[in-house]
Structure 1
Amino acid sequence: MPAFHQELRTRTRPDHEMVDRSFGRFDLADPADYGRFLTAHARVLPAIERELECAELLTGWSGRRQALEDDLAAMAIPMPRLRASFCFESDAAQWGALYVIEGSRLGGLQLSRRVKEGLPKAYLSAGHEAGGWRHLLARLDEAAEGREWRDAAVKAAKSVFRAYADAAEEAGVHG
């Protein structure tokens, strides 16, 4: 049986691609578009991180919501109303959500290169410490137990991807 993180990546690939398409419409070199991009993230990420802070899945884990708030403040954009609330009722669901938000750090580093010089990019630049992503995947694989657990993790990951895609669509429509 393959490592669970590989299964999770495979089962959520269409969801991940949907998010990439939704956020790919934003021109990060354009300050207004970049502001909408950050606002869309701010409608989802804080609620997820607050829910995961008590889970203590990874020792020393810290989120990026403060960096996101700081970037928005530097652009004189108020924190938006949260789009959704989350209640991850099992450790499997918590792991599924954590996989998505921590995986987005990898893409964030690549996207940070497209942000116009002079715009704040602490949020997108907040990568993992050396070996951090590999450590998370190893812990995820250790935590995975049985089909029901795996299905719950996948379901939560898909719900997080959907929330991000919806927030991106709303920001693009209303921006």
Structure 2
Amino acid sequence: MTADPGFVQRLRAASGPAHDRVDTAYGAFRLDDRDDYAAFLTAHARALPAVEAALANHPDLPSWRERTSLLGGDLADLGWTMPTPLPFAPDGDAAAWGALYVTEGSRLGGTLLARSVAAGWPSRYLGARHLPGEWRALLAAIETRAADASPEWQAAAVAGAMACFALYERAA
């Protein structure tokens, strides 16, 4: 008998193709070109503020730190303004857990991308890494919450992650 891989691993596998599409879309931006970098940040600004506003309406989520203000500051430093965010409303608490997984997971990629930003350009948003143990704690919280949840809750969490990836893909 094969051991259950755990909910987080199933969530990662289910959302992997959507994650790859988002990586491909944002990979088209050149972070060493000032206008392209600003366009990259603007694309993120079409998604992140909407996700964070939605997550703020779900107090049962584990703690997380907002990055919208960092993103806005970076755009302002480049002389660009925050765009109007695309609409995003996770369908219930389980979907919000899935969206939290995506938006907090983007910190990992941001830390790697920050290395490609030219010296002297603002990179507070991409440089907003997890605090020590923060990502592991979030994954453990998701795993714990899913362990006590129904299959319907788990499916809704996956759907929330997929909706969040789709938002970022549209924003790009």
The normalised TM-score by structure 1 is 0.92
The 1-side partners of 2:52 and 2:31 are apart by 24
CA–CA distance in structure 2, aligned partners of residues 68 and 3 of structure 1? 33
Identity of aligned residues (%): 48
In the other structure, the counterpart of 1:110 is 112
Q: Secondary structure in 1 aligned to 2:125?
A: helix
- Per the normalisation by structure 2, the TM-score is 0.93
1:124 alignment counterpart: 126
Matches of 2:145 and 2:42, distance apart in 1: 33
Deviations 1:92-132 (A, max 9, x none): 10100000000000000000000011110000000111000
Poorly superposed stretches of 4+, deviation over 6 Å: none
Give, in angstroms, the shift of residue 63 of structure 1: 1.2
Which residue identity lines up with residue 19 of structure 1 in the other structure?
V
2-structure distance, mates of 1:161, 1:103: 11
Higher relative helix content: 1
**Cα deviation code 1:70-108 (max 9, x no counterpart):** 00010110111112x222232210100000000000000
Q: Which amino acid aligns with 1:158?
A: M
User: How far does residue 58 in structure 1 lie from its aligned partner after superposition?
Assistant: 1.5
Per the alignment, residue 143 of structure 2 pairs with 141
Counterpart residue identity of residue 150, structure 1: Q
Aligned length: 166
- Alignment gaps of 5+ in structure 2: none
SS at match of 1:163: helix
Q: Is the 8 A contact 2:88 2:167 kept in 1?
A: no
1:74-89 paired onto structure 2 within 5 Å: 74-83=77-86, 85-89=87-91
CA contact (8 A) 2:90 2:163 kept: no
Alpha-carbon distance between aligned partners in 2 of 1:27 and 1:87, rounded to the nearest angstrom: 30
Instruction: Tell me, yes or no, if structure 1 residue 165 matches structure 2 residue 169.
Output: yes
5+ residue gaps, structure 1:
169-175
Aligned equivalents of 1:89 and 1:154: distance in 2?
A: 11
What SS does the corresponding residue of 1:72 show, helix, strand or coil?
helix
